[in-house]
A = this chain, B = another copy of it.
Amino acid sequence: MKTLVVCSGGLDSVTLAHKIAAEESLTHLVSFDYGQRHKKELEYARRCAARLGATHEVIDITDIGRRLTGSALTHGATVPDGHYAEETMRLTVVPNRNAIMLAIAFGVAVAKEAQAVAAAVHGGDHFIYPDCRPPFVKAFATMQRFALDGFAQIALETPFLRRSKADIVREGARLGVPFEETWSCYKGGDRHCGRCGTCVERREAFHLAGVDDPTVYDDPDYWLEARRAFLAKHPA
């Protein structure tokens, strides 16, 4: 099945691209420039497409990003440290982001005559992001079926929907994903900071998966502190 992958250049979506390339026909990668502070992850998406022989385009939605206020990803707010902090993670939500990006990706899929759009939403995001949960994914696919009725039939593939980030790392290791060619950090430094929510999640996922983490972090041990604080607050 000719498949278009929505790829940010992060660990999850680069692993997804490798999985689709191995199991389906990966034809196209789509990335979004919504005004994120640094473009490093987009460069990793470009390299991923080149490595896998897919075409790649970066769609400029900065004017949309600018209007969806309240997000640490696109605005001046300080990026919070740590993991598991529901209140601070809410700051990093761009309202309706997945619906917007997926709707655009489906439009591109029609133009490219692809049969499927694949996205890397995963179980680890469920607790905070409603647009990463199974009911959203199912409702989105249904909406697209009606939206394109008679014009195109395009499936929505989300193979990580009920998997954890550690599962994704395990799958990536199996597929030979060069993890050092992926980017997670919310901050704009030369290396992963090791302290922001996505760095902590990344570092912990490698730990839980039992896979060596090739990432160079400015603060490689902070994740343990964040994890201890969370476990003290939420005893099993």
Give residues in A with beta carbon < 8 Å to B: 57, 59-61, 63-64, 67-70, 93-100, 102-104, 106-108, 110-111, 130-131, 133, 135-136, 139-140, 142-152
Contact = CB atoms under 8 A, between A and B. Distances in A.
Given A59-B67, A107-B67, A135 B140 contact: no
Contacts of A135: 146, 149
A93 to B, nearest CB: 7
B59 A63 contact: yes
How many copies are assembled? 2
B99 A143 contact: yes
Contacts of A70: 111
Contacts of A136: 143, 146-147, 149
Contact of A64 (B102, B104, B149, B150): B104
Contact of A139 (B69, B106, B139, B151): B139
A107 B100 contact: yes
Nearest to A95: B110
Given A93-B151, A135-B146, A150-B130, A103 B99 contact: yes
The 3 closest A-B pairs by CB, nearest first: A95-B110, A96-B107, A130-B149
A59 B99 CA distance: 17
Contacts of A151: 93, 95, 130
Contact of A107 (B97, B102, B108): B97
